[in-house]
Amino acid sequence: MLAFYGLENVTLPHVGPRSAMKVPAFASGVNFLIRTLATLPFGAWRKTKAGPKPIGGRLQTIVRDAPNREWSSWAARRYFWRQVFLHGRGLLAIVRVNGQPYELWPLNVGATSVTMNAWGEKTYTVTVSGAQPIGKTFAAADIIDLPFLLTDDMVNVESAVTLGEKALQLALAMNDYASQFFAGGGVPPLSLEGPIAAGADAQKRAMAEVQRAIDASRQSEKPIFALPPNYKLSQVGYDPAKGQMVEARLFQIQELARVLQLPPVFVQDLSKGTMSNTEQQDLFVVKHVITQWCVALEQEMNLKLFGQMKGERYVEHDVDGLQRGDFLSRLQGLAQGVQNALLSPDEGREILGRPSKGGNADKLFIQGATIPIDTMGQQDADPNKQNPDSNGDMVDDDQASDD
84-114 pLDDT, tens per residue?
Answer: 999 999 999 999 999 999 999 999 999 999 9
Question: Do residues 233 and 191 make contact, with C-beta atoms less than 8 angstroms apart?
Answer: yes
Local structure of residue 335 (DSSP, 8 states): H
- Mean pLDDT for the chain overall: 82
Express each pLDDT in 110-148 by its tens digit: 999 999 999 999 999 999 876 556 789 999 999 999 999
Residue 337 makes CB contacts below 8 A (sequence gap 6+) with 343, 348
Predicted local confidence at residue 188, as pLDDT: 54
Residue 248 makes CB contacts below 8 A (sequence gap 6+) with 174
Provide the strand spans (E) within 300-340: 313-317
**Hey, where are the domains in the chain?**
17-163+274-320, 190-236, 326-373
Predicted local confidence at residue 185, as pLDDT: 45
Q: Kindly indicate the confidence band of residue 244, based on its pLDDT and cuts at 50, 70 and 90.
A: low
pTM of the model: 0.74
Comparing 22 with 390, the larger pLDDT belongs to 22
Q: Taking residues 270-298, report their average pLDDT.
A: 87
Express each pLDDT in 34-69 by its tens digit: 999 999 999 999 998 888 899 989 999 999 999 999
State how far the Cα of 248 lies from the Cα of 229, in Å rounded to an integer.
42
Torsional class of 191: left (φ above 0), alpha (ψ -120 to 50), beta (otherwise)? beta
Express each pLDDT in 168-202 by its tens digit: 999 888 887 777 666 554 455 566 677 766 677 87
Predicted local confidence at residue 2, as pLDDT: 40
Torsions phi, psi of 151, nearest 5? -85, 180
Question: Do residues 102 and 96 make contact, with C-beta atoms less than 8 angstroms apart?
Answer: yes
- Collapsed DSSP state (helix, strand, coil) of residue 350: helix
Predicted local confidence at residue 87, as pLDDT: 97
Question: Do residues 243 and 176 make contact, with C-beta atoms less than 8 angstroms apart?
Answer: no
State how far the Cα of 195 lies from the Cα of 14, in Å rounded to an integer.
47
Torsions phi, psi of 314, nearest 5? -160, 160
Beta-bridged to residue 395, according to DSSP, are 387
Q: Sheet of 89-97: strands edge to edge?
A: 100-106, 89-97, 143-147
Comparing 131 with 315, the larger pLDDT belongs to 315
State how far the Cα of 74 lies from the Cα of 78, in Å rounded to an integer.
6
State how far the Cα of 111 lies from the Cα of 105, in Å rounded to an integer.
14
Which range in 106-120, 204-218, 231-245, 335-349 is most confidently predicted, on average pLDDT?
Answer: 106-120
- Collapsed DSSP state (helix, strand, coil) of residue 135: strand
Question: Do residues 77 and 42 make contact, with C-beta atoms less than 8 angstroms apart?
Answer: yes
Express each pLDDT in 335-373 by its tens digit: 999 988 899 999 989 888 788 898 888 999 887 776 676
State how far the Cα of 393 lies from the Cα of 193, in Å rounded to an integer.
110
